[in-house]
């Protein structure tokens, strides 16, 4: 078992089984970017506080669309997007026991990580780094910048 589980796959079958997630786990899903693909089962989504990079995920992410189609989950259960999280408009993790899930269908997380690891090539690095730290802290309640 892990505290943070990251997936970047093109899987069409769930790799993460919700019943195996322990309280406090964070899922970072940056693959499975079409309605037919998925990295998690319905239980993983249903047990999680779900965030997305953009609301476009509701048109592209099989991880969300499949539980919606099955009547197990609803789009109104999305707790916020990347912009809202990094600008403090929405809270991330509300308790240490909560399971959180971040679903990305676009290039934003990859760009953010590139900016962290290759700062000399990008303008605005400090602002980007601070936003990434803010996002990470949103999911790790109690984190101090």
Predicted confidence at residue 93, as pLDDT, reads 85
| Domain membership of residue 11 as a residue range | 4-106
Cα separation of 98 and 90, whole Å?
A: 16
CATH, residue 89:
3.40.50.720
- 144 domain residue, yes or no: no
Q: H/E element holding 125?
A: helix 125-139
Of residues 54 and 46, more confidence is placed in 46
- 114 domain residue, yes or no: no
- Can you give the C-alpha Rg of the chain in angstroms? 15
Instruction: Tokens for 20, please give them.
Output: 């195996």
142 pLDDT more than 70: no
Predicted confidence at residue 22, as pLDDT, reads 93
- Report angle CA 60, 32, 108 to the nearest 5 degrees: 75
- 8 domain residue, yes or no: yes
- 54 domain residue, yes or no: yes
84 pLDDT more than 90: no
State the pTM of this model. Answer: 0.76
Give the residue-averaged pLDDT of 23-43.
92
- 60 domain residue, yes or no: yes
Q: Could you give the number of structural domains in the chain?
A: 1
Average confidence score pLDDT of the chain: 79
- 130 domain residue, yes or no: no
């Amino acid at each position: 078992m892990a505290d943070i589980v990251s997936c970047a796959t093109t899987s069409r079958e769930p790799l993460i089984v919700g019943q195996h997630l322990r309280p406090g786990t964070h899922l970072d899903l940056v693959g499975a970017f079409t309605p037919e693909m998925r990295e998690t089962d319905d239980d993983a989504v249903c047990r999680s506080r779900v965030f997305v990079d953009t609301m476009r995920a509701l048109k592209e992410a099989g991880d969300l669309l499949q539980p919606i189609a099955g009547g197990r989950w609803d789009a109104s259960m999305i707790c916020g997007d990347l912009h809202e999280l990094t600008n403090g408009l929405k809270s991330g993790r509300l308790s240490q026991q909560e399971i959180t899930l971040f679903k990305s269908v676009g290039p934003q997380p990859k760009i953010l990580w590139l900016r962290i690891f290759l700062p000399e090539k990008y303008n605005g690095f400090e602002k980007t780094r601070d936003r990434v730290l803010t996002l990470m802290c949103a999911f790790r309640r109690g984190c101090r910048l």
